[in-house]
């Protein structure tokens, strides 16, 4: 019986040791699982950071590639020209003949009214035909150049052209 008690004691001791080992292994696995989760979270953060950096770089590249718009105003009857540095060429973005500014400093002219400031003729197609894909282009500034249409009779006008060089 002493022998059986000893065997029982040994069995209990071995079972307890195995239970402790099993608990230790479970703790290790839990720690490893937490470490892996932390690594996954860090990877996800890094992925989002890279995604944001890529989006910023893409926006900056698009902005750098987009040609800068320039605007010129040529007073009625004056000579004007737009130009781009070779090999870039002109692209007319918008063009009006008339007046949209009431300020006296925009094409001032004594003896002619500038009261009517809500009058303009869209001349984009005319100037696009004349200037697009060229490195330089003279800009007409009289109504005769735009089919003798006067969008605001008695008001001193100008041509306002917005263009890019690409």
Q: The domain 69-165: what is its CATH number? A: 2.60.120.740
Token reading at 114: 């500038």
Decide: 82 and 72 in contact? Cβ < 8 Å. Answer: yes
Strands 69-75 and 80-83: unpaired
User: pTM for the full model?
Assistant: 0.61
What does the pLDDT look like over 132-158, one tens digit per residue? 999 999 999 999 999 888 898 888 889
What does the pLDDT look like over 26-60, one tens digit per residue? 777 888 888 877 888 887 888 888 888 888 887 77
User: CA separation (Å) from 15 to 9, 24, 56, 101?
Assistant: 10, 14, 61, 95
Domain ranges of the chain: 1-65, 69-165
pLDDT at 98 over 80: yes
- The residue among 75, 121, 74, 70 whose CA lies nearest residue 96 is 121
């Amino acid at each position: 019986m002493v022998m059986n008690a000893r065997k029982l004691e040994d069995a209990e001791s071995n079972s307890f040791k195995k239970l402790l080992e099993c608990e230790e292994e479970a703790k290790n696995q839990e720690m490893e699982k937490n470490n892996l989760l932390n690594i996954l979270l860090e990877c996800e953060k890094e992925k989002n950071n890279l995604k944001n950096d890529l989006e910023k770089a893409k926006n900056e590249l698009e902005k750098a590639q987009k040609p800068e718009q320039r605007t010129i105003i040529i007073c009625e009857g004056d000579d004007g020209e737009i130009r781009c540095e070779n090999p870039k060429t002109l692209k007319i973005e918008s063009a009006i003949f008339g007046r949209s500014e009431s300020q006296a400093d925009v094409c001032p002219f004594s003896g002619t009214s500038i009261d009517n400031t809500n009058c303009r003729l869209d001349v984009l197609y005319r100037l696009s035909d004349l200037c697009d894909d060229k490195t330089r282009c003279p800009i007409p500034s009289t109504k005769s150049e735009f089919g003798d249409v006067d969008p605001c009779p008695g008001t001193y006008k100008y041509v306002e052209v917005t263009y890019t060089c690409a």
